Structure 1
Amino acid sequence: MFTSYDIPEVLDRREGPYGEVVLRRHGDLLQIIANGCFLMDTSDGRSERRLVDAALDTLDERPTPTHAPTDTPAPTPAPHLLIGGLGVGFSLAHAAANPRWGRITVVEREEAIIDWHQNDGPLSPLTAQALADPRTEILKTDLVAFVNETCATFDALCLDIDNGPDWTVTDGNEDLYAPTGLTSCARALKPGGVLAVWSAQPSPEFEGTLRNAGFKRVRTEELPVARGVPDVVHLAVRPG
């Protein structure tokens, strides 16, 4: 016999240009489903938070510029972070809680997901404080289109689109992880900027794709989960 806890409650269902997006409640959890496939929920968030921290750690590893003895080094501006994919908001909330980040720009193409975070929406308790932060801006657009068209460059790009490079469920997202998509991501990074990519599973092949796209210092962090294969953060640096 099923209880109300066993049967997810659909809170919203939208048909958009990229397919169906559903927000549902299952017990205490909120879940996002895209085209019938589970994407993420509010159960943990450790790997999404590590995505942001690993990008900042990698920025900290950059060599310090040398100056002549009489030079007074200019203060280093706080890094500008670009987050690809809003999701349930773990990455945004964690970035906004760290005063070391400067501006925080989030690109999300699904209007429904943005709505769920705003105006007392179901996901707003997770991100209301971050969205009220003057450093934060949310842009409704496709990430590839944005990085191809923007004149801005960023210190770090934290990419959390779909389930990662080897497990996409939305048409077109696989292009983002291909060489052309990664070249577009590099275009939006400053020299020495960091690309951090979340994945639901390790992908040695993707490491090779990053190197072939011109990135340096490619490495992978694995984050154990309660069951199954570990979550992964792929890290790469645009050459200076």
Structure 2
Amino acid sequence: MIPWETLDTANIPGGSETLRLKRRGTEFSIMLGANELMNSRLSGSEAALARLTIERLAASAPRILIGGLGLGFTLRAALPLLTQAARITVVELVPAVVAWARGPLAALHGDSLDDPRVTIVENDIGAIIGERPAAWDAILLDVDNGPEGLSRKGNDLLYDARGLRAAFTALAPGGVLSVWSSGPNAPFTRRLRQAGFTVEDVAVRAGTTRRGARHVIWLATRPSTSRA
């Protein structure tokens, strides 16, 4: 078997552990300690995050905010589903992840980062969410292994009651907050409803076949008639 090779490491702002970019043949992995955050063989649920969200949008030229670039599967899945008038802002906290996307992971990302509809921002997604009310038609979060701060404790602020209200306010009426997770989390579902969202949670395959592990995507819609 081909051994894993560590290509690079990166510190996470506000975190205590280190990201490692690894390669085994044509397979890539991003690790946090002993936890694998993402793998290039498992793109199904990240692509579903984009597809399920966009299916629920009424706007023909939606303004979409993606938290977490990762291996780029969510962004790549979103682009063919959107008109040329759509705008996507991808916020990545770790500058090295953006550098990897343009370096050793360039073949995975293709030309998605250079699409004229796409803006890449190196920042904390929480800061972007809090900038303006009704700024987005969709907010997609894939910044951790789910609604708990694994890579950095500060990510918990995205998923608590205050963070969810901030996301609610940042969405236009009818907008969708979508959250990727490696598994279910009933308390998080309750917090979404308490924040005013209409909530679906959908189990999707981690990979692109009908076998293997399932991940969870929350699709939380801000009602069209609600107020922040």
After TM superposition, is the score higher than 0.5?
yes
Deviations 1:102-139 (A, max 9, x none): 00110111011011112xx1111122311111000000
Trace 1:191-210 onto structure 2 (pairs within 5 A).
Answer: 191-210=173-192
Aligned residues: 217
Q: Is the 8 A contact 1:152 1:188 kept in 2?
A: yes
* Structure 2 equivalent of residue 223 of structure 1: 204
Aligned mates of 1:38, 1:10 — CA distance in 2: 13
Gaps of 5+ in 1: 61-75
Aligned mates of 1:222, 1:151 — CA distance in 2: 30
Deviations 1:48-69 (A, max 9, x none): 1111111111224xxxxxxxxx
* 2:166 equivalent to 1:184: yes
Q: Is the 8 A contact 2:12 2:152 kept in 1?
A: no
* Structure 2 equivalent of residue 58 of structure 1: 56
1:134 to 98, 101, 116: 116
* Structure 2 equivalent of residue 44 of structure 1: 42
- Cα distance, 1:167 vs. partner? 6.7
* Runs of 4+ deviating beyond 3 Å: 224-228
TM superposition score normalised by structure 2: 0.88
Q: 1 or 2 for the larger relative contact order (CA 8 Å, sep ≥6)?
A: 2
- Cα distance, 1:27 vs. partner? 3.3
Aligned mates of 1:197, 1:153 — CA distance in 2: 18
* Structure 1 equivalent of residue 220 of structure 2: 236
Aligned mates of 1:107, 1:151 — CA distance in 2: 18
Trace 1:1-240 onto structure 2 (pairs within 5 A).
Answer: 3=1, 5=2, 7-17=3-13, 18=15, 19-60=17-58, 77-100=60-83, 102-118=86-102, 121-150=103-132, 153-166=135-148, 168-216=150-198, 218-225=199-206, 226-228=211-213, 230-240=214-224
Structure 2 residue identity aligned to 1:198:
W
Aligned mates of 1:206, 1:99 — CA distance in 2: 29
Deviations 1:24-82 (A, max 9, x none): 1123211111244210010021111111111111224xxxxxxxxxxxxxxx6411111
Flag the structure with larger Rg.
Answer: 1
Instruction: Indicate how the Cα distance of structure 1 residues 35 and 111 shifts in structure 2: closer, same or farther if over 3 A, else same.
Output: farther
Aligned mates of 1:168, 1:15 — CA distance in 2: 14
TM superposition score normalised by structure 1: 0.83
Aligned mates of 1:180, 1:35 — CA distance in 2: 29
